[in-house]
Amino acid sequence: MNMFNKMIVYEALKRSQAPEPTGRLTHKSHSDGQDSIISLMIHDIFGGEILKTHKKKNWHFYNRINGERVDFTGSEMGESSLVNEFEDIPSSPDETSDYIDQVDYSAFFMRFVKAFEEAIGLEKYLPGLTA
């Protein structure tokens, strides 16, 4: 079992959310609808579960890794909150994919991998994961 370090992942997420020319996936926007991209990517790289909870008129996606709820889109990282309002309804990669654009997902995934690689090195963290 790997040791999931959420602070390292959070720092890599911040680095991977540099403003793009399109204005997409910036730090400000990631908590507004980007939770599906982030939760799917976290699941694809680190495993665990994808969970969801009702938020206004849509779903809010987040993860559970090694038994711990992890939400990189706000509440645990200092933004406003759902802290005691999580429903922990199981979701799946297929369901989460319905809420994302695959081109956005791929671009964000590659930026995250580069940022994570710069921070710690994926080969050291998860041998065999790098291309």
Q: Number of folded domains in the chain?
A: 1
**CA 96, 38, 84 angle in degrees (round to 5)?**
85
Residues forming beta bridges with residue 55, ordered by sequence position: 58
Does any domain span residue 42? Answer: yes
Q: Specify if 1 maps to a domain.
A: no
In a domain? residue 75: yes
Residue 65 lies in a domain: yes
pTM: 0.75
Per-residue pLDDT of the chain (131 residues), as tens digits, is 456 788 889 988 988 875 554 444 433 334 456 899 999 999 999 999 999 999 888 899 999 999 999 999 865 444 444 455 899 999 999 999 999 999 999 999 999 988 888 877 655 555 555 54
pLDDT score at 1: 45
15, part of any domain: yes
- Count of Cβ atoms closer than 10 Å to residue 96 Cβ: 23
Contact 58, 96 (CB under 8 A): no
H or E stretch covering 16:
helix 6-16
In a domain, 131, yes or no: no
Question: Residue 16 sits in which domain range?
Answer: 6-125
